[in-house]
Every structure is written in C-alpha cells, then in structure tokens.
Amino acid sequence: MSLKVAITHRFDGFDLDVGFEAGPGVTALFGRSGAGKTTIVNAIAGLLRPDAAQITLNDTVFNSAQTFLPAHRRRIGYVFQDARLFPHLTVAENLDYAGRFGARAKGRTHIVDLLGIGDLLVRRPATLSGGEKQRVALGRALLSDPALLLMDEPLAALDGPRKSDILPYLDRLKSDTGVPILYVSHAVDEVARLADHMVLLSDGRVTRSGPLFDVMADPAAVPLLGVREAGAVLQARVTDHGPDGLSTLQVAAGTLNLLGVQAPIGAQVRLRVLAQDVLLSLEMPQGLSAQNILPATITSIRTGDGPGAAIALDAGGEALLARVTGRAVASMGLEQGQSLFAIIKATSVAQDAISGGST
C-alpha cells in the first residue's frame, strides 16, 4: 500500500501545507490540538475539498488539479472519536449496514470474534460503554471492505481503564487484518504501542516523518512530544520470568530485567523507555541498585533554551534517548561518538509501556 498526500488549505488564521507518504501497517499522525491532523484525514476521506491537493492511494487518484473522487468511491473506513453508531439499530444491524457497501459480509464472524463483540450483537448503542462502542465502530468500518482505515483520536474520549481495555484489540487488528491504518492521536503512549511509522505535525506543517523507532528517539522531536513523554521504543524478546516478579528481556544491546511483563517466554514486545528515566555513566557502574546497564554510543546532542539536553544513543543498533542537564553534558565532557553506559531502572518502565506479545 502506498498513500501519497500533498495538501494546502487555508482557514481563517491557519494555513495547512503538508506532504508525506504512508506505507503498509500503522502510520501515526501526531501533533497537538490545532496542528491540522483532522483536516488531513477529512481531506483524505473526501469529507473536505482542500484548496489544492494531490492525494493518491496505490493507483487511485483521490484528489488532483482535475480530480475529486467522491467519498463513497474511495473505499475508506473512518472511525471517529465519538463512534457515530446508528442509535436506532442494534449492534448487529450497525454491522450489517456496513456490509451493504463492501465485500466483507462473509468475514463478519471473523471481525466479530477479532473485536470480541459477539455478546453485544443484540444490544443498542445507548447500552454500550465507550470502549464497546469503539469496538463496534471498528467492526463496522472493517466490514465496509476498506482499502485504508482512518482512525481519528479513537480513544480520546475514553478514561484510562477503558483505553487499556481496547488497546489489545487494536494490537490484534493491526496484526490480523492487514488493512493499512492512518492513526490520528496526540497521545504518545498510543502511538508508541501501535504505530510503524510516524508523521509529526506542528502548526500545519510536517516537522519530521519516518519509522517510529527513529522519530521517537530523535532529540529534535522532544519539543513536540513533550519533555515528560519523549523517549525511545525498543524491540525485545521475553526470555525468562523469575520467581521474584522480574522478567528478563533480550534487546539489541543486552538484557533488561523488568517488572509487569505479561507476555509469554519467546514473545516479541515493544518497550517504551522515557528519556528522563535513562541515566548515563562514563564507566561501567559498580555498586548500583539498578541492574539494567546497556553499552551505548552518543550519536547526537541537542540543547534547547532550557537547562536540559537530549542525548541520542546507539545501543546495539537500536536508538535510545536520554535527557540530562546541560551542566551534566559539560561536566562529563559528553560529545558525539563517545562510548558510555545507559542505565535503566527496572521500575521505570511501567507495565502499560510494554506492549505486544507475538511469537
């Protein structure tokens, strides 16, 4: 799948001028409120006709100087923040309605099982929780046989527990359906868990795009992600579960012992490691309570207007990010190309920062 997007559009007091490409898997559009995310997905869906646009999905031209393909001919599934189910229809009837416009009616049972909504079929939307409504909305979108799925802040209206409930279904959706997804969010934890690629937006412009692992660990992305949310995503394999509650995971640069790992031995998982939780040492530490120590090399140092500095690291070929003070950079003599050790506390990687579980 190849989605190519170039859009310029002007609102009162706001100019949108973006260009990016998205491939298979999940591509996240990330930015603060007002960055232009919803305008972009509405233009892709055909719900907004921009001042100028060149939008193509594979060989199908959605928008060009001469073309504007109507929304109903774009084969796009759209999941909104507020679900937008038909209130007078049951869940089963909502799903069947989508089947009128696609070729997935025979896959209804699979979608129902995938999203765990079999026991909801006879109920009406007013009796569903927020997470249940979103799962039904996902099912309806998938049953329209989309070539592309747009998801605009689908979890923004959910509280923490409901959000945690639905994220595993989105993990399953990503791996089981093969439908490419453009996922809009301003929540870093969602993006870190689900996305394969990431497009950063600020004030109607694309500031950075590329593979998730590269963008998340880019020091230049820290201002947009937020100082407290910035950090890298590592790929790991679970190798052991100890009797003390600690699990051992293999990453590119060595092993980590972490709490709260639910995935079985042999599973591949993602770890989100916040930059503020990574300590740096010039020598192999001795006598520390923290046991997670990875050799690394500094690839870049970025200082801002404040007292902090973002340090990009190469840890066995994977990108890691640390945030220290500018004073620490000076006193340690940190510079690009320098070898050192990154220290990660076992308790700093929260359970909800560990995702995945495929073998």
Confidence of residue 101 (pLDDT cuts 50, 70, 90): low
Per-residue confidence (pLDDT) for residue 52, from 0 to 100: 97
Name, of 110-114, 202-206, 301-305, the range with top average pLDDT.
Answer: 202-206
CB 215 within 8 A of CB 204: no
Query: CA torsion, points 183, 186, 190, 196, in degrees to nearest 10?
Result: 50
Output the pTM of the full model.
Answer: 0.90
Per-residue confidence (pLDDT) for residue 126, from 0 to 100: 95
Mean pLDDT, range 104-131, rounded to an integer: 87
Q: Is the pLDDT of residue 267 over 60?
A: yes
Give the residue from 309, 297, 305, 285 showing the smallest Cα distance to 337. Answer: 297
* Region of poorest pLDDT, from 25-29, 120-124, 247-251, 259-263: 259-263
Percent of the chain with pLDDT over 90: 70
Each residue of 223-264: pLDDT tens digit? 889 889 999 999 999 999 999 989 999 999 999 999 888 899
Q: Which domains does the chain have, with CATH numbers?
A: 3-216 (3.40.50.300), 231-358 (2.40.50.100)
Per-residue confidence (pLDDT) for residue 172, from 0 to 100: 83
List Cα–Cα distances, 165 to 81, 115, 171, 287, 306, in angstroms. 16, 11, 11, 40, 38
Mean of pLDDT over the chain: 91
The answer to whether the Cα torsion of 49, 83, 13, 224 is positive or negative is negative
In order, the DSSP letters of 287-335 are: S-S--EEEEEEEEEEEE-SSSEEEEEEEETTEEEEEEEEHHHHHHHT--
Q: Is the pLDDT of residue 353 over 90?
A: no
* Sequence-distant (≥ 6) Cβ neighbours of residue 125 within 8 angstroms: 83, 85, 86, 87, 89, 91, 94, 133, 136
Confidence of residue 351 (pLDDT cuts 50, 70, 90): low
* Sequence-distant (≥ 6) Cβ neighbours of residue 333 within 8 angstroms: none
d(CA 82, CA 201): 23
Each residue of 166-187: pLDDT tens digit? 888 888 888 788 889 999 998 8
Confidence of residue 194 (pLDDT cuts 50, 70, 90): very high
Mean pLDDT, range 110-134, rounded to an integer: 93
Per-residue confidence (pLDDT) for residue 18, from 0 to 100: 97
Question: What are the structure tokens assigned to 202, written together?
Answer: 């600020």
Scanning the chain, the segments in alpha helix (DSSP H) are 37-45, 91-99, 108-115, 130-142, 160-177, 188-194, 212-216, 222-225, 326-332
Helix (H, G, I), strand (E, B) or coil at 20: strand
List Cα–Cα distances, 301 to 211, 271, 311, in angstroms. 20, 23, 5
Mean pLDDT, range 285-302, rounded to an integer: 92
